[in-house]
């Protein structure tokens, strides 16, 4: 029991900068889309208006900063960058599936950034496989609760 609690605790410590990097972009109210407004052959936007340079900048800075304060700047930079790249990969997949910006893609919306963050940090911090499994399982409910909170605070137009 104690071992499981410790594993859970350190998993949250590990992923925290990625959670921050994924949460703050909505506050940026960005206007410059990363895909420059362009579409692909399927007629859908490459990424859509929900992925902006302003969002990337605040996410990278905030995510890196929290981890740097805790004393691990390189890991947190990679976690933040990976979270943002994972989130954009999720948006790319949604657009290819014809899912409009802001419309839900259950599971993908909740774990794209965790997968990205873990993949980017692994080379400098080879975490245990059970930590990755734990985070992939516990992140969706946490993400959902956080988004309902953001919706109630009128930060997001939908509770997902």
Residues contributing to the site for Mg ion (CB under 5 A) = 109
Please report how close the Cβ of residue 66 comes to ligand CTP at its closest, in angstroms: 17
Binding partner selected for residue 91 from ligand CTP, Mg ion, none, CB under the kind-specific 5 to 8 Å limit: ligand CTP
* C-alpha–C-alpha distance, residues 100 and 123, integer Å: 34
Is 86 among the residues that bind ligand CTP (CB under 6 A)?
Answer: no
Do the beta carbons of residue 80 and residue 63 sit within 8 Å?
Answer: yes
* C-alpha–C-alpha distance, residues 110 and 124, integer Å: 24
Quick one: DSSP state of residue 155? Answer: S
**Alpha-helical runs (H) found in 24-124:** 25-28, 53-69, 73-96, 108-121
Is 30 among the residues that bind ligand CTP (CB under 6 A)?
Answer: yes
Please report how close the Cβ of residue 41 comes to ligand CTP at its closest, in angstroms: 19
Binding partner selected for residue 141 from ligand CTP, Mg ion, none, CB under the kind-specific 5 to 8 Å limit: none
Please report how close the Cβ of residue 125 comes to ligand CTP at its closest, in angstroms: 23
């Amino acid at each position: 029991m104690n071992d499981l609690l410790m594993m859970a605790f350190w998993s949250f410590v590990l992923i925290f900068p990625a959670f921050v990097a994924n949460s703050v972009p909505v506050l940026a109210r960005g206007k410059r889309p990363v895909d420059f407004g362009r579409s692909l052959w399927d007629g859908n936007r490459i990424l859509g208006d929900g992925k902006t340079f302003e969002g990337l900048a605040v996410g990278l800075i905030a995510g890196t900063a929290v981890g740097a304060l805790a004393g691990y700047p390189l890991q947190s930079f990679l976690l933040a960058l990976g979270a943002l790249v994972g989130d954009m990969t999720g948006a790319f997949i949604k657009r290819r599936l014809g899912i409009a910006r802001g419309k839900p893609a259950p599971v993908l919306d909740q774990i794209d950034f965790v997968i990205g963050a873990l993949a980017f940090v692994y080379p400098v911090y080879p975490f245990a496989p059970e930590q990755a499994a734990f985070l992939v399982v516990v992140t969706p409910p946490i993400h959902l609760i956080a988004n309902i909170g953001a919706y109630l605070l009128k930060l997001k137009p939908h509770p997902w």
